């Protein structure tokens, strides 16, 4: 950083005329960085919006979106490089890497993460590509508290690819598949040859080591000699698509020492004749086949079985179907034996509609040497039901919850272990075929019979059908009360509702945008969401059951069963290749890994997505500007000066274009640091709003706060560091301002505040970021203050994260429409929070301060 | 095509996402919908029966969309054709309009937009019929 300014300074000292040009150029480049940054963020949001189902897009759209983002990011890097020539060559490398991956995705060469095994405990939704669909769904359902799942790990798709590469099988597969497609070979022959190659392959050392590590931790948990495994397929690209069901092999009760064999067998089943035929039919390319394998600890099952959350046979009436038998579940799944059957209602009480207990003379049990064996069932158990009525109810409840979570009827494999605990072994979508019943009236006619509460208004954030009781999130309501399966109705689509979205069946708001934070979360969980519906909170009444059809922007009174059925039976956009491709491309574009500028990964090398690159550049570009006033020489020609304020804030304003009135432009002979600027000379509305807030009478604490002894000691011993807020240029409080941009770096008391605020052309893509850290007291009080900020900012609909005493709050889109209001609030907050940590002597003070601040803000905003 | 029967729609697009998304949404609105990914199969179908409305992409493998819509118009002049395509250029739009296309939508478009175009096409068909009677 120093180099550039040294460079500017020497140039400035030598030739004064050039100096203005250089700074002016720097400001112009910075403006360009801002503009490009905004364009990129808008493009990302617009791509994400396409996941919601309201748009029909194609691969051509994905190609052109990719091209736009790639070109714009490249332009951004160039613009930034002009500000700091050659300083971050790593940005180009990071950019090329991401671009290459995006292009691979578009060429049907998916980017798989470089990891060989993943423990279930570490799997997240984003790991679907690595862990495959089955393992990921299993982990997600346990995270959603929809059921207990066995401990285990996934051997990844990358492990599969490495296996195939090291054993040189890929070319062989292409050759054999080719002969089969050309008719030179039967599918059985081709399949047999490929499978024997796989079975004879050796497992790459890296994969062995990764498997060994995971196996060891499973073994430790199970106790020596007790661990047995269930080894199953978890293929890539199977998400949502159930048609692969049953085409791949699974192995039960595998001894740890036999895991390698079982692994090879599961891999080989990728090329079973049925799977090959299926892939040919659905146009899978040979290089689109990646098999991850799920390795689970065997559950010592007392009873096992299958649940259909919606009976495919009794569709109209509904009902949950359960089939169960003693011992292990595979005979139940394959339908080989007589099983106990239960049909229960879908309503919360789950009344038993039908029940048939079978005669069960035998059961499948784990054998002592691995594998499984058919054994006789004890005489007195043969005709007894394998599930208690309590267990039936528990299963029905879990089935509804899983259906709720995955937004489709589910086909669930389960077991009750020796202690009677319910364990979910697998949950996948249940295909319900549309019945060809000529008697049933057309859906469009049926829908005419239902009273319509809302229609035709709003923006679709996520399409789909949802029904449930209305939960109106009125001001101050405790969201912990939100019942599973309710329809969330709120005035604003605020990120504060994020925690209830996984439980909600649907969302309707009066105000909101499909490009906002809440819309993004709704799409993440695929919760049908209609935002900006204007009258939702007026029309929809607490507790009333309604059905939302987001796609048609309609809310019906009551439960519209026919609509739900139609939704359940319909093909899903999520099951198409184009949709999956968009999701995978977004992974390389959208997530933000660079959050904290002081983390070690905040480097060009740390940039994993296009968003990261944009973020990194923005941060560093601002840093260059904020150094100008403290760099001697350069400051002399700065357009701007010291702002005259009624509070002792000592704020220097640097105008990079249109932020101050023209007379503040500065002349070469008058050093700007000595020039003062009056508040009325500020043209930037956001800065004026901030000044209004920060100078509101009575909020700024002008008397020194008495520092108690422990705070004093803590301030003496604490290593003073501004780093956690990213303000490593301490000293001068600074505002960088233009007509549509405002950046504030403030050091007040002993803490640091950064505010970054951008106004877009039509206010629809505004954004504000607020970062806060530091303080004079010990960690506990500082974290209390962080908690205070969290509560307050959340209350004003910011999306807030807290890490130790670092608070980061963001607002964008709809939440940032009224930027002036937000900047006034932030002004108030900055004034109010000075030395607040000192008075945070107990937790109860947090809420006292929240209330007091709320009161102040109300009064100030009312004016 | 009787007055009381449902409005029939054929969708042809080689990218499955289009009909997977459109078909259920249109069925819900009361239309009778058939979807095709391959133009050859769609071509066979339009020789078997006529549709009130055809929604087709322009750029596909095999038979070109332009050829397909010409064939539709030849076999059943009263069928309204709506073109959807990712290659939105004025030239293709003009050419398809000359061939008697009812309307032209560039992908990506919103579901509401195509529903609106279909509604207008339906109205057009109805008015045309009334004019003849």
Confidence at residue A254, expressed as pLDDT on a 0 to 100 scale: 93
Q: What pLDDT shows up at residue A383?
A: 93
Q: What is residue A242's predicted lDDT score, i.e. its pLDDT?
A: 43
Q: Distance (Å, rounded) from C-alpha A579 to C-alpha A572?
A: 10
**From the CA atom positions of chain A, what is the Rg in Å?**
31
pLDDT of residue A285: 65
Contact check, Cβ <8 Å, B17/A442: no
At A147 the pLDDT is 78
Q: How confident is the model over A121-157, as pLDDT tens digits?
A: 999 877 888 998 889 889 988 877 777 899 999 999 9
Check residue A8 and give its pLDDT.
53
Give the C-alpha separation, A516 to A495, whole Å: 9
Per-residue pLDDT at A631: 56
Residue A813 has pLDDT above 90, yes or no: no
Q: State the CATH number of the domain containing residue B57.
A: 3.40.50.2300
- pLDDT tops 80 at residue A448: yes
Each residue's pLDDT, cut to its tens digit, for chain B (133 residues) gives 444 478 999 999 988 889 888 998 999 889 999 999 888 889 999 999 999 999 998 876 666 778 898 899 999 999 999 998 876 566 777 777 777 889 988 889 999 999 999 999 999 998 887 665 4
Q: What are phi and psi of A101, to 5 degrees?
A: -65, -40
Query: Which residues on chain B are in Cβ contact (under 8 Å) with A53?
Result: 21, 111
At A510 the three-state DSSP class reads strand
Distance CA A234, CA A301 (A): 22
Domain assignment present for A68: yes
The answer to whether residue B2 is domain-embedded is no
How far, in Å, CA of A601 to CA of A805, rounded? Answer: 19
Nearest CA in chain A to B16: A576
Percent of chain A surpassing pLDDT 90 = 41
A697, A811: one domain: yes
Tell me if B1 is assigned to some domain.
no
In a domain, B64, yes or no: yes
Task: Report if residue A435 sits inside a domain.
Answer: no
Note whether A38 and A162 are same-domain residues: no
pLDDT of residue A635: 44
pLDDT (tens digit per residue) in A237-263: 654 444 455 567 788 899 999 999 999
**Mean pLDDT of all residues belonging to chain A:** 84
Across the strands, what pairs with A812?
A767
Q: What is the pLDDT of residue A845?
A: 84
- Pair (A149, A273) in one structural domain: yes
Is the ipTM here above 0.95?
Answer: no
Segment among A496-510, A560-574, A719-733, A814-828 with least mean pLDDT: A719-733
Instruction: State whether A313 and A410 are in the same domain.
Output: yes
Phi and psi at residue A476, to the nearest 5°:
80, 5
Q: Give the pLDDT of residue A512.
A: 86
- C-alpha to C-alpha distance for A89 and B34, rounded to whole angstroms: 54
Calculate mean pLDDT across residues A796-822.
85
Q: List chain A residues with CB under 8 Å of B110.
A: 54-56
Same domain, A276 and A359: no
Helix (H) or strand (E) holding A251: strand A251-254
The pLDDT value given to residue A716: 40
Closest partner residue to B28 (CB to CB) among A443, A460, A573 is A443
Assigned domain for A630 exists? no
pLDDT at A347: 83
φ, ψ of residue A176 to 5 degrees: the values are -70, -40
- DSSP state letter for A741: E
Convert the pLDDT of each residue in A70-109 to its tens digit: 999 999 999 999 998 989 999 999 999 999 999 999 988 8
Report in angstroms the alpha-carbon separations of A531 from A499, A518, A662. 18, 10, 42
- State pLDDT tens for residues A660-670: 887 776 554 44
In this prediction, residue A245 carries a pLDDT of: 54
For residue B98, is it within any domain?
yes
Tens digits of per-residue pLDDT, A327-382? 988 777 777 778 899 999 988 889 998 899 999 998 988 887 777 888 899 999 99
For residue A770, pLDDT over 50 is answered with yes
Verify that A122 and A102 share a domain, yes or no.
no
Does A439 reside within a domain? no
Which chain B residues have a beta carbon less than 8 Å from that of A578?
15-17
Query: B111 vs A55: CB contact, 8 Å cut-off?
Result: yes
Beta partners for residue A372, in sequence order: A366
Pick the more confident residue, B16 or A391.
A391
Beta-carbon separation of B20 and A572 below 8 A:
yes
Residues A351 and A410 in one domain: yes
Number of domains observed in the structure of chain A: 5
Which of A18, A179, A11, A6 lies closest to A668 in space, CA to CA?
Answer: A18
Task: Tell me which residue range forms the domain holding B123.
Answer: 8-132
What band does A671 get if pLDDT is binned at 50, 70 and 90? very low
pLDDT of the residue at A437? 54
Which pLDDT score is estimated for A670? 47
Could you tell me the pLDDT band of residue A266, with boundaries at 50, 70 and 90? very high
Asked if the structure places residue A424 within a domain, the reply is no
Domain total of chain B: 1
Boundaries of domain holding A373: 301-416
Pairing of strands A741-748, A733-738: antiparallel
Question: Residue A706 falls within a domain, yes or no?
Answer: yes
According to DSSP, the residues that pair with A322 across neighbouring strands are A307, A342
Q: What is the pLDDT of residues A786-804, one digit of tens each?
A: 889 999 998 888 988 888 7
What are B's interface residues with A at a Cβ cutoff of 8 A?
6, 13, 15-18, 20-25, 27-30, 57, 84, 86-87, 107-112, 114
Distance (Å) from the C-alpha of residue B69 to the closest C-alpha of chain A?
20
* pLDDT greater at residue A14 or residue B49: B49
3-state SS class at A355? strand
A270 at interface of B, judged by CB pairs closer than 8 A: no
User: Which comes out higher in pLDDT, residue A707 or B43?
Assistant: B43
> Are both A553 and A611 inside the same structural domain?
no
Q: Which long-range contacts (CB under 8 A, 24 or more apart) does A79-84 make?
A: A79/A29, A79/A32, A79/A33, A79/A36, A80/A29, A80/A33, A80/A617, A80/A620, A80/A621, A82/A25, A82/A29, A83/A4, A83/A26, A83/A29, A83/A30, A83/A33, A83/A621, A83/A624, A84/A1, A84/A4, A84/A620, A84/A624
Model pLDDT, residue A820: 92
Q: Residue A615's pLDDT band (boundaries 50, 70, 90)?
A: very high
CB A347 within 8 A of CB A397: no
What is the predicted pLDDT for the residue at A75?
97
- Residue A289, pLDDT > 90, answer no
For residue B8, report the phi and psi dihedrals to the nearest 5 degrees. Answer: -100, 140
Alpha-carbon distance of A449 to A446, in angstroms, equals 6
Predicted confidence (pLDDT) per residue in A185-243, tens digit: 999 999 999 999 999 999 999 999 999 999 999 998 887 678 899 999 887 765 444 44
Q: What is the pLDDT of residue A15?
A: 42
Identify the domain boundary among A282, A297, A312: A297
Segment A709-718, tens digit of pLDDT: 454 444 443 3
Asked if the structure places residue A663 within a domain, the reply is yes
- Asked if residue A576 belongs to a domain, the reply is no
- Both A290 and A157 in one domain: the answer is yes
Per the structure block, which two tokens stand in for A524? 């993440």
pLDDT digits (tens, 9 = 90+) for A469-484: 999 998 878 888 898 8
pLDDT value at residue A16 = 41
Judgement on whether residues A285 and A311 belong to the same structural domain of the protein = no
pLDDT digits 0-9 by tens, A21-31: 477 788 889 98
Give the mean model confidence (pLDDT) for residues A737-754: 86
Residue B108 to residue A56, Cβ atoms within 8 A: yes
Residue with more model confidence, A709 or A510: A510
Domain boundary among A416, A436, A466: A416
pLDDT greater than 70 at residue A433:
no
A305 and A293 in a common domain: no
CATH of the domain at A514: 3.50.30.10
């Amino acid at each position: 950083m120093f180099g550039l300014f040294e460079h500017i300074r020497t140039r400035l000292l030598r030739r004064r005329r050039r100096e203005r040009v250089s700074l002016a150029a720097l400001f112009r480049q910075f403006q360009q960085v801002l503009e490009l940054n905004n364009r990129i963020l808008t493009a990302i949001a617009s791509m994400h919006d396409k996941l919601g189902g309201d748009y029909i897009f194609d691969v051509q759209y994905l190609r052109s979106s990719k091209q736009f983002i790639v070109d714009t990011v490249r332009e951004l890097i160039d613009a930034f490089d002009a500000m700091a020539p050659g300083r971050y060559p790593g940005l180009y490398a990071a950019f090329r890497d991401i671009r290459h991956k995006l292009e691979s995705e578009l060429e049907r060469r998916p980017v798989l993460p470089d990891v060989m095994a993943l423990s279930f405990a570490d799997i997240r939704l984003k790991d679907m590509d690595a862990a495959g669909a089955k393992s990921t769904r299993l982990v997600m359902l346990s995270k959603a508290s929809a059921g207990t799942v066995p401990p285990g790990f996934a051997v990844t798709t990358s492990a599969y690819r490495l296996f195939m590469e090291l054993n040189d099988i890929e070319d062989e597969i292409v050759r054999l598949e080719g002969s089969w497609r050309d008719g030179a070979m039967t599918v059985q022959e081709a399949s047999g040859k490929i499978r024997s190659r796989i079975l004879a392959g050796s497992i790459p050392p890296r994969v062995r080591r990764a498997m060994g590590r995971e196996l060891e931790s499973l073994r430790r948990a199970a106790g020596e000699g007790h661990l047995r495994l269930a080894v199953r397929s978890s293929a890539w690209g199977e998400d949502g698509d159930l048609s692969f069901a049953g085409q791949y092999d699974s192995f039960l009760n595998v001894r740890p020492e036999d895991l390698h064999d079982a692994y090879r067998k599961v891999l080989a089943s990728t090329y079973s004749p049925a799977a090959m035929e299926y892939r040919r039919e659905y146009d899978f390319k040979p290089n689109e086949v990646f098999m991850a394998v799920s390795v689970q600890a065997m559950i010592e099952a007392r009873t096992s079985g299958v649940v259909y959350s919606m009976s495919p046979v009794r569709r109209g009436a509904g009902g949950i179907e359960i089939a169960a038998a003693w011992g292990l579940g595979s005979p139940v799944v394959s339908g080989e034996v007589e099983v106990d059957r239960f049909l229960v209602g879908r309503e919360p009480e789950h009344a038993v509609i039908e029940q048939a207990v079978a005669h069960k003379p035998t059961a499948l049990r784990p054998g002592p040497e691995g594998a499984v064996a058919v054994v006789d069932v004890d005489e007195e158990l043969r005709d007894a039901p394998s599930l208690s009525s309590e267990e039936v109810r528990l299963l029905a409840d879990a089935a509804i919850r899983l259906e709720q979570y995955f937004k489709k009827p589910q086909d669930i494999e389960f077991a009750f272990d020796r202690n009677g605990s319910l364990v979910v072994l697998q949950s996948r979508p249940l295909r319900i075929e549309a019945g060809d019943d000529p008697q049933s009236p057309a859906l469009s006619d049926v829908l005419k019979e239902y009273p319509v509460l809302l229609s035709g208004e709003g923006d679709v954030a996520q399409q789909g059908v949802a029904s449930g009781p209305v939960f109106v999130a009125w001001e101050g309501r405790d969201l912990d009360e939100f019942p599973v399966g309710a329809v969330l109705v709120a005035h604003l689509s605020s990120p504060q509702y994020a925690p209830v979205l996984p439980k909600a069946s649907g969302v309707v708001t009066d105000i909101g945008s499909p490009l906002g934070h809440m819309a993004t979360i709704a799409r993440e969980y695929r919760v049908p969401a209609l935002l900006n519906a204007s009258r939702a909170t007026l029309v929809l009444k607490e507790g009333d059951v309604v059905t939302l059809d987001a796609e048609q922007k309609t809310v019906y009174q009551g439960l519209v069963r026919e609509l739900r059925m139609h939704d359940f039976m319909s093909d899903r956009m999520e099951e198409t290749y184009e949709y999956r491709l968009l999701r995978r491309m977004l992974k390389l574009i959208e997530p933000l890994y660079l959050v904290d500028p002081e983390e070690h990964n905040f480097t060009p090398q740390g940039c994993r997505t296009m968003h990261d690159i944009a973020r990194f550049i923005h941060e560093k570009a601002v840093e260059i500007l904020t150094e100008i006033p403290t760099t001697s020489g350069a400051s002399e020609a700065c357009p701007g000066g010291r702002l005259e304020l009624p509070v002792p804030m000592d704020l220097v304003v640097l105008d990079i274009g249109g932020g101050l009135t023209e007379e503040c432009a500065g002349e070469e002979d008058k050093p700007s640091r000595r020039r003062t600027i009056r508040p009325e000379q500020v043209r930037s509305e956001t800065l004026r709003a901030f000044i209004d807030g920060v100078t509101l009478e009575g909020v700024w604490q002008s008397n020194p706060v008495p520092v108690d002894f422990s705070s004093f000691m803590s301030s003496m011993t604490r290593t003073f560091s501004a780093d956690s807020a990213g303000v490593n240029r301490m000293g001068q409080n600074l505002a960088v301002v233009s007509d549509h941009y405002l950046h504030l770096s403030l050091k007040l008391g002993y803490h640091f505040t950064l505010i970054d605020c951008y106004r877009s052309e039509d206010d629809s893509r505004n954004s504000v970021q607020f970062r806060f850290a530091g303080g004079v007291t010990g960690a506990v009080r500082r974290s209390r203050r962080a908690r205070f900020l969290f509560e307050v900012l959340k209350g004003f609909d910011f999306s807030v994260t807290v890490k130790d005493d670092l608070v980061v709050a963001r607002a964008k889109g709809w939440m940032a429409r009224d930027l002036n209001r937000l900047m006034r609030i932030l002004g108030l907050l900055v004034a109010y929070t000075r030395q607040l940590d000192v008075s945070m002597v107990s937790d109860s003070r947090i809420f006292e301060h929240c209330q007091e601040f709320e009161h102040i803000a109300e009064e100030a905003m009312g004016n | 095509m009787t007055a009381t029967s449902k409005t029939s729609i054929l969708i042809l697009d080689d990218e499955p996402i289009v009909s997977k998304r459109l078909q259920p949404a249109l069925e819900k609105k009361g239309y009778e919908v058939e979807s095709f990914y391959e133009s050859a199969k769609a071509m066979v179908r339009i020789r078997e029966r006529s549709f009130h409305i055809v929604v087709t992409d322009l750029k596909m493998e095999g038979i070109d969309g332009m050829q397909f819509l010409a064939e539709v118009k030849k076999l059943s002049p009263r069928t309204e054709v709506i073109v959807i395509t990712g290659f939105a250029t004025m030239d293709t739009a003009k050419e398809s309009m000359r061939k008697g296309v009812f309307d032209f939508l560039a992908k990506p478009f919103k579901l509401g937009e195509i529903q609106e175009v279909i509604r207008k096409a339906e109205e057009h068909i109805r008015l045309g019929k009334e004019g003849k009677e």
